[in-house]
Amino acid sequence: MSTNVYVTRRIPDESIRMLEDACDVVDVNPHDRALTRTEFLEAVQGRDGLLCLLTETVDDEVLDAAAGVKGVANYAVGFNNIDVDACTRRGIPVSNTPDVLTDTTADLAWALMFSVARRIVEGDRYVRDGKFKGWGPLMLLGDDLTGKTLGIVGGGRIGMATAARAVGFSMPVLYTSRNRHEDIEAIGAQYRSLDDLLQASDFVSIHVPLMSETTHLIGPRELNLMKSTAYLINTARGPIVDEKALVSALRNGIIAGAGLDVFEREPELEPGLADLDNAVIVPHVGSGTVATRIKMGNKAAINLIAMVKGEEPPDCVNPEWKQGR
Ligand code: DGY
């Protein structure tokens, strides 16, 4: 039986070759941009499998257009772009790409902590603008990380990896999560309620998935609980933080700074955010290393190949899909 899959954006060649070896037709979005909704709805028609990104919303309308699709492989660990319940109701498995991007994303959380606290981006701009006229004792002073308290919001894989790196900087770690996690406690992290963590931490790093319960988890009230000397880091999903409230908090000294890889309405920014020197903002590159993007692509390909064969993918996020058939 002929198999036909669609990939919504160019991903590493190695992963495309894996799909080509296993499927009869592999079409890839030819543009160097995300598909428009109209293009996406058209492209999914008649496909056995879809490999999509967080830039595509997969909902009932898409599943209607892709009638007969046997599986949806997301090229990301987060899958808030997919209506998983709608897929399950139709007996369609959905997969993500866990584990392979854990360390890369944790590294970026740390890069953001250093960048914002040590004013790396400001310093770079200062030098390039020709303002550096020689060493000065009060020039571009930042804050130390060593010995400060790190608060991890979310005790999953990436939160754990971010916490583990704190040992090297002698930083006590607090964490908050829906459930207690033995593995993060085993490396010395202490459990706190969200409010207590916000009040006690010098760096707060967000590592929860985006769900209705975590949307605007950090809003004006939570920002006000943080120390005025503290930094907020978000490498998870933009809507977890109320970006308007964050801009106001950064502008008014409610907190010292923020390092953001994700935004509430990507790729748009809250007005005023880009004007703030105490915000370091990067374009959702948490998993963006060559090696990790290849691993993500290969994982997504392995998952999709299993699904088009009617099998459960190794990284299935809705194991109850079979009941929907
Ligand atoms: C993810 O995997 O969820 C990231 O946001 C993209 O790598």
Q: What gap in Å lies between CA 189 and CA 151, rounded to an integer? A: 9
3-state helix, strand, coil in the chain (%, to 5): 40, 15, 45
For the question of residue 284 being annotated catalytic, the response is: yes
Mean pLDDT of the chain: 97
Examine the domain organization and report whether 127 and 209 are in the same domain. Answer: yes
CA of 317 to the centre of ligand 1 (A): 15
CA of 11 to the centre of ligand 1 (A): 14
Q: How confident is the model at residue 271 (pLDDT cuts 50, 70, 90)?
A: very high
Examine the domain organization and report whether 260 and 317 are in the same domain. Answer: no
Token digits of residue 228 = 């005025």
For 104-118, how does the pLDDT look when each residue is reduced to its tens digit (9 = 90+)? 999 999 999 999 999
Tell me which residue has its CA closest to atom 6 in ligand 1: 76
Q: Name residue, tokens 């006000």.
A: 224
Residue closest to 157 by CA, chosen among 75, 243, 98: 98
Tell me the whole-structure pTM to 2 decimals: 0.97
Residue 162, pLDDT score: 98
For 190-227, how does the pLDDT look when each residue is reduced to its tens digit (9 = 90+)? 999 999 999 999 999 999 999 999 999 999 999 999 99
Residue 1, pLDDT score: 72
Examine the domain organization and report whether 178 and 86 are in the same domain. Answer: no
Examine the domain organization and report whether 106 and 68 are in the same domain. Answer: no
Examine the domain organization and report whether 157 and 210 are in the same domain. Answer: yes
Considering the candidates 222, 237, 243, 293, report the single residue annotated as catalytic: 237
Cα 127 from chain centre: 31
How many independent structural domains does the chain possess?
2
- Give the binding-site residues of ligand 1, using a 6 Å CB cut-off: 54, 76-78, 101, 286-287
Residue 2, pLDDT score: 87
Examine the domain organization and report whether 93 and 106 are in the same domain. Answer: no
Residue 49, pLDDT score: 98
Tell me which residue has its CA closest to atom 1 in ligand 1: 76
SS3 153: strand
Residue 311: DSSP 8-state: P
Examine the domain organization and report whether 203 and 186 are in the same domain. Answer: yes
The residue segments making up the domain with residue 305 are: 4-99+290-324
CATH code, domain carrying 200: 3.40.50.720
List strand residue ranges (DSSP E) for 227-314, in order: 231-234, 257-260, 279-281
Q: What is the mean predicted confidence (pLDDT) over 123-146? A: 98
Q: What is the mean predicted confidence (pLDDT) over 33-46? A: 98
